[in-house]
Amino acid sequence: MIYLLALIPATALTVAGYFVLFLSNRSEGALRSFGKYLGFWAFTLAGLVILGAIFAAAHGRHHGCMMGDRDMHGHMRDFGPYPERGSESTAPPPGGESPPPPAPNSQH
């Protein structure tokens, strides 16, 4: 699915690159060289969009392991299966009682 989403901006950048190259060939001087660079830059960005889509699809739900088993805040992370939506348990943690309810905010 992510490939199809990446094809839209990549196609737009490719068409824009051809359009800029076409117009730069009809101009002279500094505008011609600027148009060539701009066209090639559009092609480069289109290629990077495709490569980014391939990279994102290859990693799926795995978000980089550059920090080992820790998340971006330094907490240990369990890389087990992801829980299904709605399966969160409301049971108290094992080995202890549930925390007391918050005290009412009364102002006298």
Residue 80 has what pLDDT?
59
CA distances from 8 to 13, 23, 58, 63 (A): 9, 23, 19, 24
Query: Above 70 in pLDDT, residue 75?
Result: no
CA distance 8 to 85: 31
DSSP count for the chain of H helices, then E strands: 2, 0
Q: What is the pTM of this model?
A: 0.54
Would you kindly state where each structural domain of the chain is located, as residue ranges?
A: 2-59
Q: What is the pLDDT of residue 55?
A: 87
28-74 confidence digits (pLDDT tens) = 998 899 999 999 999 999 999 999 988 888 877 655 555 555 555 65
What lies within 8 Å, CB to CB, of 9 at 6+ separation is 46, 49
